[in-house]
Amino acid sequence: MISKLSLQLKVVILILISLGIASFVIGGKKAINPDEASLSFSEFDQVITTPVETISSVQLADYLMKQEHHYNLIDLQGKNSGYQIPTSESHSIKSFLELKIPVNETVFIYSSFETEALQLYYLLLIRGYFKVKILAGGIDAWTAQILQPLKDDIPAEELEHRKRLTNFFGGSIRNESNRSKSVSFKPVVLEKKKKKHQGC
Amino acid sequence: MNMPLAPYEVISSGLNLFFALIIGIAFGFILERGGLGNAKKLIGQFTLTDLTVFKVMFTAIVTVMIGLFFLSAFGLANLELISNSDTYWIPQILGGLILGVGFAVAGYCPGTTIVGMATGKLDALASFLGLIFGSLVFVAIFDWIEDFYWSTHLKNDHFSQVFAIEFGTSVFIVICIAILGFITAEIIESKSRGSTQK
């Protein structure tokens, strides 16, 4: 039967058999295993010495308000945190890493202090994520700049824009007279943009 | 590892679309040169007289599969970032049947309709209009069928995941199926040629 096949088909079959055997031998092993650290010291040094990518509270508020892109906003404050930025997901460093989201997703991280956010930031960077930013100043900066900003601290040309952001996120702008007063803010529900469904 | 290029932002999404256009034109050109812009040749698939469609499409699938496997194995491509449609098996079987009926009646599948139109074939133009009409009907009734459309979702929809085997093993199995398919196609075609000569 084989002898009746055309020469072209015989050559194709030979190539396919060779590639098939090679695939079988390689199996599921990858030359680069994503679960194993494969960075050299110099690559590791480069990751650590590159300036940390941050996003300011105002930039993040603008980004969330527009809802133009899919993103992951990760809250590392822990279970006892009182306030969470709308659309954020509460995680521990471990639980977020276990999600194994695709490495090209946008990740914003915040915590009470920047320390935990930085830990997750570097863990993500050495795993190949390249669109990771931490919220500069953590949740305190968000509260001070978005939820309860002081009018005198806002440049005049920025005031309208900042009023819009503060109102949108349920806060209110404080005057010098009520600087020390704690102002309450309404929690807002923001619908997060869904991940685009891709495929052919 | 920096492939696929667009998800890793090595190239912009606009440039990615431009490359897709160039590859699409090249693919269409090759389909036309292979005779797949002709409804008579395509319909041979259903009458078992000419299995060119099967051979061309299976060759394309196997080529891409082997290419991606080796790029992944040598750490050059991250397969997790290559988008592919999820499997919703009952809706997709029904969709496949509807497409198959349309293919058999018109003599063209959606891709070859465009190829046929590019060479000025009027039956391909008629098929293309049918394709547009069918798409519009689908959009119009989507709200009614949406629950069915998203039903029977398979979470592990890759061949290797469903059968819990290594990716390389699944590549080997598909290659074996392809070889058997190519040999069977040759036998069927030669028998068909023999009966025609008689």
Question: What is the C-alpha to C-alpha distance for residues B39 and A182, in angstroms, rounded to an integer?
Answer: 76
Residue B142 sits at the chain A interface (C-beta within 8 Å): no
**What percent of chain A shows pLDDT beyond 70?**
82
Question: What is the C-alpha to C-alpha distance for residues B178 and B57, in angstroms, rounded to an integer?
Answer: 11
Total domain count, chain B: 1
Question: What is the C-alpha to C-alpha distance for residues B9 and A137, in angstroms, rounded to an integer?
Answer: 28
Residue B146 sits at the chain A interface (C-beta within 8 Å): no
Q: What was the pLDDT predicted at A31?
A: 43
Neighbours of A58 (CB within 10 A): 19
In sequence order, what are the residues at sequence separation of 6 or more whose Cβ sits closer than 8 angstroms to the Cβ of residue B145? none
Specify if B64 maps to a domain: yes
Q: Indicate if the pLDDT at residue A199 is higher than 50.
A: no
On average, the pLDDT of chain A sits at 83
Q: Indicate if the pLDDT at residue A109 is higher than 90.
A: yes
Per-residue pLDDT reduced to its tens digit, B51-93 = 888 888 888 899 999 999 998 888 888 887 887 788 898 999 9
Question: What is the C-alpha to C-alpha distance for residues B38 and B40, in angstroms, rounded to an integer?
Answer: 6
A41-178 is a CATH 3.40.50.720 domain:
no
> What's the pLDDT band for B151 if we cut at 50, 70, 90?
very high
Mean pLDDT value across residues A138-167: 88
Residue A156 pairs in a beta bridge with none
Per-residue pLDDT reduced to its tens digit, A15-65 = 989 988 888 888 765 544 556 656 788 888 888 888 999 999 999 999 998
Q: Indicate if the pLDDT at residue B177 is higher than 90.
A: yes
Domain range for B171: 13-197
Q: What was the pLDDT predicted at A121?
A: 95
Specify if B175 maps to a domain: yes
Nearest chain A residue (CA) to B4: A104
Mean pLDDT value across residues A172-183: 70
Distance from CA of A168 to the nearest CA of B (A): 32
Q: What was the pLDDT predicted at B196?
A: 65
Question: What is the C-alpha to C-alpha distance for residues A140 and A145, in angstroms, rounded to an integer?
Answer: 9
Sign of CA dihedral B58, B59, B61, B66: positive
Using only C-alpha atoms, what is the Rg of chain B? 19
In sequence order, what are the residues at sequence separation of 6 or more whose Cβ sits closer than 8 angstroms to the Cβ of residue B5? B11, B16
Nearest chain A residue (CA) to B7: A104
Q: What was the pLDDT predicted at A32?
A: 46
More confident residue, B159 or A145: A145
Specify if B43 maps to a domain: yes
Closest C-alpha among A141, A161, A153 to residue A179: A153
Q: Indicate if the pLDDT at residue A74 is higher than 90.
A: yes
Q: What was the pLDDT predicted at A200?
A: 44
Structure token pair of residue A9: 């088909």
Is B183 in contact with A13 (Cβ distance < 8 A)?
Answer: yes
Interface of A with B (CB under 8 A): 1, 4-6, 9, 12-13, 16-17, 19-32, 102-104, 128, 130, 198-200
Specify if B4 maps to a domain: no
